[in-house]
Amino acid sequence: MAAPNEAANKDNSMNKPIRAALVALVRNSDLNGIRSTIRQVDDRFNRNYNYPYILLNDKNFTDEFKEGIHAITKAPVHFGLLSDDHWGLSPYVTEEKVKSALEYNKNRYIYGGSYSYRLMCRYQSGFIHKHPLLQDLDYYWRIEPDVNYFCDIPYDPFKYMRDNGLIYGFTTTPMEIQKTVETLWDTTRKWMMENQELLPEESFVRWVVNEKGDYTRCHFWSNFEIVDLSFYRSEAYESYFQHLDRAGGFFYERWGDAPVHSIAAAMLLRKEQLHWFEDIGYYHPGLRHCPNKPEMAARCICGPRSDFMYRSICNRRFGNVGNVPKNETLLLAQMPDKR
Ligand SMILES: Nc1nc2c(ncn2[C@@H]2O[C@H](COP(=O)(O)OP(=O)(O)OP(=O)(O)O)[C@@H](O)[C@H]2O)c(=O)[nH]1
Ligand SMILES: *[C@@H]1O[C@H](CO)[C@@H](O)[C@H](O)[C@H]1NC(C)=O
Ligand SMILES: *[C@@H]1O[C@H](CO)[C@@H](O)[C@H](O)[C@H]1NC(C)=O
Ligand SMILES: [Mg+2]
């Protein structure tokens, strides 16, 4: 019997089932919104694949919620509760200072005075990938209530990620509100200087920092993200998250999981490991992406096709900048954020 050659071996691993799931953090009050999302994800993609849904909540899901979800999908669904050590106030901040920060910020920007919003952002930044229900997954695809999927997805994005060595997939690239991240870049720079051994030889960091050392506030909107979870489980990501948590900005400011995930991806990955799913037409309140390439648009129900991503400064920047070597990254990390 002939020994299998290398190509055959490779082929074999390409066809291995992928351990992946669609994951959402939701409240019982989000039932209608998440039913709507799940129905669209099923219709557009998952009815052909049957990847499980994992729904997480800081409170017990009600029977009404669980029944409502099972009634809308045939895919397996797992309901999970968050542990108290994952969902709560950071041990590095003081309650008093948090209270006055919420008071100060409540009219400065959306969710400026919301405590639970901050718990949500901290959870999705540092803990969601540690939930026991996600332990055996290689990839997750984050979904949210009340979003729209406009286009048929006639292939498996998880498999696409794996076969192409991709780590982070996104659909939209807005710019973060300055006031919510006032010290995020300076805190990040400090981490880079103190943890040089965790930086890769080459990275896409120039997407988030310009030649003058200023934070561009470009980020991937993480209400949609498809991610190789080994990235969030890596020593570098965990060290970065711990450093941010210690600085207190999840509470004193309103650091979102979107800018945090995005800075980490740009700083720790190469451009070839990031992917714009241009063909996945998507809407989350506030932003819409509708593909304009004819072969993509043919599978979509949205229009006209001159949406956000074709005007987005951050999407243009994604196309225009490339990887830089570590020595250049460190020069940028020495420059204070001047805004
Ligand atoms: N279990 C639980 N889930 C939450 C809580 N706050 C937010 N979420 C979920 O976290 C995700 C993000 O929250 P959103 O309120 O959608 O935040 P956003 O997308 O920044 O803003 P909007 O969609 O405009 O409200 C959603 O899936 C919410 O259902 C919470 O206190 N408990
Ligand atoms: C949540 O569910 C668990 C397990 O079913 C139960 O032990 C616990 O008492 C519930 N908590 C609340 C607040 O209902
Ligand atoms: C970074 O190192 C490379 C060689 O690895 C060198 O060509 C380049 O000039 C260096 N850049 C800076 C800014 O020092
Ligand atoms: Mg949302």
The CATH superfamily label for domain 19-333 reads Spore Coat Polysaccharide Biosynthesis Protein SpsA; Chain A (3.90.550.10)
107 pocket-lining for ligand 3 (C-beta < 6 Å): no
pLDDT at 294: 94
Whether residue 2 is predicted with pLDDT greater than 90 in this model: the reply is no
pTM: 0.95
Rounded CA gap, 153 and 159, in Å? 12
Residue-wise pLDDT tens digits, 222-241 = 999 999 999 999 999 999 99
Residue-wise pLDDT tens digits, 173-199 = 999 999 999 999 999 999 999 999 999
Determine the atom of ligand 3 nearest the C-alpha atom of 326: 1
Contact residues for 156 (Cβ-Cβ < 8 A; gap 6+): 18, 49
Rounded CA gap, 149 and 37, in Å? 8
**Domain boundary assignment for the chain:** 19-333
Whether 225 is catalytic is yes
pLDDT at 4: 41
Average pLDDT, the chain: 95
pLDDT at 306: 66
Alpha carbon of 255 to those of 121, 236, 286, 297: distances in Å?
7, 19, 18, 35
Determine the atom of ligand 3 nearest the C-alpha atom of 331: 13
Please give the average per-residue pLDDT across 141-151, as a whole number: 98
pLDDT at 114: 98
Residue-wise pLDDT tens digits, 61-74 = 999 999 999 999 99
pLDDT at 281: 97
Residues 225, 238, 295, 328: which is the catalytic one?
Answer: 225
Contact residues for 286 (Cβ-Cβ < 8 A; gap 6+): none
* The pair of three-digit structure tokens given for residue 133, joined into one six-digit string: 């229900």
